[in-house]
Structure 1
Amino acid sequence: MEKEEEHITLNVKDLAVGYSSKKEKTIIANNINFNLYEGEFTAIIGANGIGKSTLLRTLGTIQPSLSGEIDLNDQAIEKYNPLTLAAKISLVLTEPIAAKSMTVIELVALGRSPYTNWLGTLTETDTAIIEKSIKQVELNTLRNKKCNELSDGQLQRVMIARALAQDTAIILLDEPTTHLDLYHKVQILKLLKTIAKETKKTIVFTTHEIEMAIQMTDKILILDNDSNPFGSPKTLIREKSFEKLFPADTVVFNADTNSFKIR
């Protein structure tokens, strides 16, 4: 049964992403089309250099699109002012944070910046949301630790908590499982999926963990420099979309086991 139109949070049509200078445009990926619904957990996958992070940054308005449309709640994303947009979309990037000397609770509190006055004064509502975010990602015992004392997995949870404190309808994450072992990769993805289902937030992440994405997500966008198929994992498997992801003489996708095998 099709979802009703009003539940679409983000609509992307004929999007091209890349970089532009005064002299020329460099398109990294184009022909990108998909809809994101509230409460869905979505992965963006593809080979290295295909444009996953560039697309995520474009969706988060860190860099402009080269052509096409991005509509947020039926309005062109460029029509939102930065402060309004910061209350609707949060972005967690892979770059090391500049404020590792801050404590966990101080860093999470930065998520409330779009809502506080110019002094950054926290209201009771702000404090309650910060506490809820810390609890959701199970950081209470680490709340007063400096971020430079945390493991990679713990720091990743802090960044997710900050995005939760920002209380946006859409959360975008670039490679949230990078540098984590298998257990912590699964733990982070399970946490994100639970948050999407329980809070009805739309969560989108880029990843190289394709087999995990097939098992855990509602939708997947495959960037392939061609048709960029988008749909549920079952649909993409049925349409043999994963089989075109890598050169067939090196890696093949087994639809029976939902896994890749070295040829």
Structure 2
Amino acid sequence: MNNSNTSDTIRLDNLTIGYKTHDGIRTVAKDINASIKSGKLTCLVGTNGIGKSTLLRTLSGFQPRLGGSIVINGSELSGYTPRDLSRIVSVVLTSRPSSINFTVEEIVALGRTPYTGFWGTLNDADKEIVSESIRLAGISHLAKRNAMSLSDGERQKMMIAKALAQQTPVIMLDEPTAFLDYPSKVETMLLLTRLCREEGKTIFMSSHDLELVIQLADILWVMEQGGTISVGTPKALADEGTLSRFIERTGIMFDKEAMRITVCKSGAD
């Protein structure tokens, strides 16, 4: 499916996120006003512990918001039943599965659960969707392999295929390039970009691979101390100084013209 037009799939109005602690409520970020569009790869970056996972979990419906609204596909997030939401948003988490004694095809088929139930039998249409999802993820040659035998990169593609089999317009991913070697990181990012542009998916992902997302993201969300979130194209955020402020430290420089991060070697000529 070719989708040259983009539209707002998710809209955040005065959103406040956070969580309960023993001492009360900890606010991570407040008054977030932004939108996430279909057909554009949107990447969230920020330092460790800044609250990226809290934001992702809130947008996915796993964690309650503290205030404001989240509208997905024209409806308030809180208005969806869990079953209905599972047909709108699929989530790919970072954690490595401890044991998977299933084939790749069987794991991807679990993406059909919102339509069949956990023990549901796949009909011919379901099987075709699973096969097509595996093809889109570029792992047709792995379909019959045991998932335990996969490399980290292959396993990540399998989980993306499972999200595709769920047939949701929105896919959210928490650090999808974690644990991957550099070529696998690039392959995964290019796959997500292709799914946005060719399949019209709305993809929102967090990442620590700053150099990659600067090059490949259509839209960046930069989460900074104090709960500030800056949103824009990588070039726009570079031009206004947001990326320099976020990236630069002693010995680390950001060239906003070349859109490159460089490390200054101490004592170099």
TM-score tier after normalising by the smaller chain length:
over 0.9
Displacement of 1:242 after TM fit? 0.5
Moved over 4 A (4+): none
Q: Which residue of 2 aligns with 1:212?
A: 212
Confirm whether residue 242 of structure 1 aligns to residue 243 of structure 2. yes
> What is the DSSP-based 3-state SS (H/G/I as helix, E as strand, rest coil) of the residue aligned with 1:245?
helix
TM-score (norm 1): 0.92
Q: Which residue of 2 aligns with 1:172?
A: 172
Q: Which residue of 1 aligns with 2:267?
A: none
> What is the DSSP-based 3-state SS (H/G/I as helix, E as strand, rest coil) of the residue aligned with 2:225?
coil
Confirm whether residue 251 of structure 1 aligns to residue 252 of structure 2. yes
> What is the DSSP-based 3-state SS (H/G/I as helix, E as strand, rest coil) of the residue aligned with 2:229?
coil
Q: Is the 8 A contact 1:92 1:173 kept in 2?
A: yes
Displacement of 1:101 after TM fit? 1.1
Once the two structures are superposed, the pairs formed by residues 1-263 of structure 1 within 5 Å of their partners are 7-21=7-21, 24-97=24-97, 100-117=100-117, 119-226=119-226, 227-246=228-247, 248-262=249-263
- The more displaced of 187-196 and 232-241 is 232-241
Displacement of 1:225 after TM fit? 2.7
Displacement of 1:31 after TM fit? 3.4
- The more displaced of 193-202 and 250-259 is 250-259
Q: Is the 8 A contact 2:248 2:254 kept in 1?
A: no
Distance, in Å, in 1 between the alignment partners of 2:252 and 2:26 is: 29
Distance, in Å, in 2 between the alignment partners of 1:54 and 1:222 is: 14
Q: Report the residue type matching 2:150 in the other structure.
A: L
Displacement of 1:21 after TM fit? 4.8
Displacement of 1:74 after TM fit? 2.3
Q: 1:186 to 1:64 in 2, by over 3 A?
A: same
Q: Report the residue type matching 2:260 in the other structure.
A: S
Q: Is the 8 A contact 2:100 2:148 kept in 1?
A: yes
> What is the DSSP-based 3-state SS (H/G/I as helix, E as strand, rest coil) of the residue aligned with 1:229?
strand
Q: Number of residues paired by the alignment?
A: 260
> What is the DSSP-based 3-state SS (H/G/I as helix, E as strand, rest coil) of the residue aligned with 1:97?
coil
Q: Report the residue type matching 1:123 in the other structure.
A: N
Distance, in Å, in 2 between the alignment partners of 1:120 and 1:243 is: 51
Distance, in Å, in 1 between the alignment partners of 2:148 and 2:119 is: 26
Q: 1:109 to 1:256 in 2, by over 3 A?
A: same
Distance, in Å, in 1 between the alignment partners of 2:192 and 2:118 is: 31
Displacement of 1:256 after TM fit? 1.9
Q: Is the 8 A contact 2:110 2:118 kept in 1?
A: no
Q: Is the 8 A contact 2:251 2:263 kept in 1?
A: yes
Displacement of 1:137 after TM fit? 1.3
CA RMSD of aligned residues (A): 2.0
Q: Is the 8 A contact 2:41 2:193 kept in 1?
A: yes
Distance, in Å, in 2 between the alignment partners of 1:78 and 1:209 is: 32
- The more displaced of 149-158 and 67-76 is 67-76
TM-score (norm 2): 0.90
Question: How far does the alpha carbon of each residue in 1:238-263 deviate from its partner, in whole angstroms, 9 at most, with x for none?
Answer: 11110121464453321122122345
**Which residues of structure 1 form unaligned runs of 5+?**
none
Indicate the percent of aligned positions where both proteins have the same amino acid.
Answer: 36
> What is the DSSP-based 3-state SS (H/G/I as helix, E as strand, rest coil) of the residue aligned with 1:95?
coil
Distance, in Å, in 2 between the alignment partners of 1:38 and 1:125 is: 25
Q: Is the 8 A contact 1:12 1:70 kept in 2?
A: yes
Q: Report the residue type matching 2:232 in the other structure.
A: G
**Which residues of structure 2 form unaligned runs of 5+?**
265-269
